[in-house]
Amino acid sequence: MINKIKQMLAQVTDPEIPVLSLGDLGVIRNIEVDDEQVIVTITPTYSGCPAMEVMEQDIIDILTKEGRKVGLPTKIKVETQLSPAWTTDWITDKGKADLLKYGIMPPSRSGKIICPQCKSKDVELLSQFGSTACKALYRCTKCLEPFDYFKCH
Ligand SMILES: [Zn+2]
Q: What is the pLDDT of residues 99-134, one digit of tens each?
A: 999 999 999 989 899 999 999 999 999 999 877 778
Q: What is the pTM of this model?
A: 0.85
The count of other CB atoms within 10 Å of the CB of residue 59 is: 23
Q: How far is the CA of 147 from the centre of ligand 1 (A)?
A: 9
45 CA → ligand 1 middle, Å: 28
Average pLDDT on 38-57 reads 82
* pLDDT tens per residue across span 64-105: 999 999 999 999 999 999 899 999 999 999 999 999 999 999
Q: What is the Å distance from ligand 1's center to 13 Cα?
A: 27
How far apart are the CA of 139 and the centre of ligand 1, in A? Answer: 8
Distance 119 CA to ligand 1 centre (A): 6
Digit-coded pLDDT (tens) for 8-43? 998 898 887 888 899 999 999 999 999 999 999 999
Sorted by where each starts, the structural domains of the chain and their CATH numbers stand as 2-88 (3.30.300.130), 103-150 (no CATH)
Distance 62 CA to ligand 1 centre (A): 37
Cβ-proximal residues to 140 (8 Å cutoff; 6+ apart), any chain = 115, 117, 118, 120, 122, 123, 146, 147
CA of 126 to the centre of ligand 1 (A): 14
Q: In what order do the strands lie in the sheet with 123-127?
A: 104-105, 146-150, 135-140, 123-127
Question: 21: CA distance to ligand 1 center in Å?
Answer: 26
Which pLDDT belongs to residue 152? 87
pLDDT attached to residue 130: 77
Q: What pLDDT, on the 0 to 100 scale, is given for residue 41?
A: 96
144 alpha carbon – ligand 1 mean position (Å): 6
